[in-house]
């Protein structure tokens, strides 16, 4: 058996990064028992013995065992990491929390388009008979939503978001880096899901950080709305369901049961409640430690005033564009 065949046969070898100049894909070893751990798979840095390189031709020739694959797409700061970790149940579903290969596909651009299908087939490999794989990409990979869903026509997706004030508080809580991220996210979304806000470059530059982040949130919501409304070619809206992150937190077992049902995964009646009572809900999904659930605790009143003003402004823009935001939940 060749090295490529060995990697194809073992789902613990995850595609991780695309090297376009060398036309190679890097794989990392991620055993099944480590998939539910905190942190993003994209940030893993295994030893040399847990890495392997496969050329593009060998990758396309791989015969990966068949598997079922579904997605969680999100607008950031809406408990999507918590959801994918909560769904991780050996023998039932394997949750892949932001695998690096999806972000790498975005960075590689059109050159890597022929690799999408074989890479998704590799991600879908089950660790146990009947086990499905749930992939939660980074929100920066939302631009790939149409391509991923078209290449995997049997895949279904949960689209996660939350209300604008919750999103903006999360941006502000991260300080300067969060505000800078919000501005970059706005520019990123304008590049593939943009709309004309009637602002010249000077007006765009003069926006506050919270305004830029607010428009990024709006563009993400609008992008999801296009998919849910059947306006994206090759993506049937019945494959998609909308989920509010706060609703998930308030009805954990009901949400998990609805996600399994949407993905067509038959589970024991008691499993969603068992998972909802699991340890992932008592710790911060990304950082560990005890999780503080009140997102408004410690927020400066002036910041709250700014967030309210930005909310009114974004609401007027959404109204003029004919958008009902936030998008209503459709999962349950």
What are the domain boundaries of the chain? 3-320
Q: Higher pLDDT residue, 115 or 285?
A: 115
- Per-residue model confidence as pLDDT tens digits over 50-65: 999 999 999 999 988 8
Q: How far is CA 98 from the centre of its chain?
A: 7
181 pLDDT more than 50: yes
Q: What is the mean pLDDT of residues 90-116?
A: 97
Q: At what angle do helices 209-228 and 301-320 cross, to 10 degrees?
A: 40
Q: What is the mean pLDDT of the chain?
A: 94
10 pLDDT more than 90: yes
**What pLDDT is stored for residue 290 in this prediction?**
40
Q: What is the mean pLDDT of residues 169-196?
A: 97
Please, which pLDDT band fits residue 274 given cuts at 50, 70 and 90? very high
Q: Which of 45-54, 205-214, 302-311 has the lowest mean pLDDT?
A: 45-54
E strand map for the chain: 13-19, 24-29, 51-55, 69-74, 93-97, 132-136, 157-161, 240-244
Q: What is the mean pLDDT of residues 68-94?
A: 97
Please, which pLDDT band fits residue 329 given cuts at 50, 70 and 90? very high
Q: What is the mean pLDDT of residues 293-307?
A: 78
Q: Which of 86-90, 172-176, 245-249, 282-286 has the lowest mean pLDDT?
A: 282-286
Closest CA to 87 of 138, 131, 126, 129: 131
285 pLDDT more than 60: no
Please, which pLDDT band fits residue 282 given cuts at 50, 70 and 90? confident
How large a percentage of the chain has pLDDT more than 90? 90
Q: What pTM value is reported for the model?
A: 0.95
Q: Are 86 and 160 in contact (CB under 8 A)?
A: no
**What pLDDT is stored for residue 46 in this prediction?**
85
**What pLDDT is stored for residue 291 in this prediction?**
40
CATH class of 3-320: alpha beta
187 pLDDT more than 90: yes
81 pLDDT more than 60: yes
**What pLDDT is stored for residue 289 in this prediction?**
39
**What pLDDT is stored for residue 284 in this prediction?**
62
Query: How many other CB atoms are there within 10 angstroms of residue 136's CB atom?
Result: 27
Helix (H, G, I), strand (E, B) or coil at 170: helix
**What pLDDT is stored for residue 286 in this prediction?**
60
Q: What is the mean pLDDT of residues 83-90?
A: 97
289 vs 22, 249, 295, 296, CA distance in Å?
A: 41, 18, 16, 19
CA–CA distance, 310 with 308 (Å, rounded to integer): 5
- Per-residue model confidence as pLDDT tens digits over 257-268: 999 999 999 999
């Amino acid at each position: 058996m060749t090295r490529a065949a060995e990697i194809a046969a073992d789902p613990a070898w995850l595609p991780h990064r695309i090297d376009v100049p060398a036309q190679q894909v890097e794989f990392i070893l991620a055993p099944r028992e480590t998939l539910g751990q905190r942190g993003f798979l994209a940030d893993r840095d295994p030893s040399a013995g847990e890495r392997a390189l496969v050329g593009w031709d060998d990758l396309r020739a791989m015969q990966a065992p068949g598997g079922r694959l579904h997605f969680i797409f999100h607008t950031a700061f809406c408990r999507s990491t918590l959801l994918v970790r909560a769904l991780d149940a050996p023998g039932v579903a394997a949750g892949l929390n932001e695998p690096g290969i999806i972000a790498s596909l975005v960075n590689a651009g059109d050159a890597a388009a022929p690799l999408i299908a074989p890479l998704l087939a590799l991600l879908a490999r089950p660790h146990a008979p009947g086990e499905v794989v749930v992939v939660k990409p980074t929100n920066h990979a939302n631009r790939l939503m149409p391509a991923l869903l078209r290449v995997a026509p049997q895949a279904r997706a949960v689209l996660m978001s939350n209300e604008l004030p919750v999103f903006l508080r999360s941006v502000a809580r991260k300080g300067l880096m969060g505000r800078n991220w919000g501005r970059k996210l706005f520019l990123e979304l304008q590049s593939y899901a943009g709309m004309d806000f009637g602002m010249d470059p000077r007006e765009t530059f003069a926006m506050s950080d919270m305004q830029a982040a607010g428009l990024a949130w709006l563009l993400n919501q609008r992008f999801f709305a296009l998919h849910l409304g059947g306006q994206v070619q090759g993506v049937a809206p019945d494959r998609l369901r909308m989920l509010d992150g706060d609703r998930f937190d308030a009805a954990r077992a009901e949400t998990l049961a609805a996600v399994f049902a949407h993905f067509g995964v038959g589970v024991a009646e008691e499993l969603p409640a068992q998972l909802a009572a699991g340890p992932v809900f008592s710790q911060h999904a990304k950082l560990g430690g005890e999780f503080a659930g009140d997102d408004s605790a410690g927020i400066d009143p002036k910041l709250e005033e700014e967030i309210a003003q930005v909310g009114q402004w974004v609401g007027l823009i959404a109204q003029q564009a004919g958008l009902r935001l936030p998008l209503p939940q459709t999962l349950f």
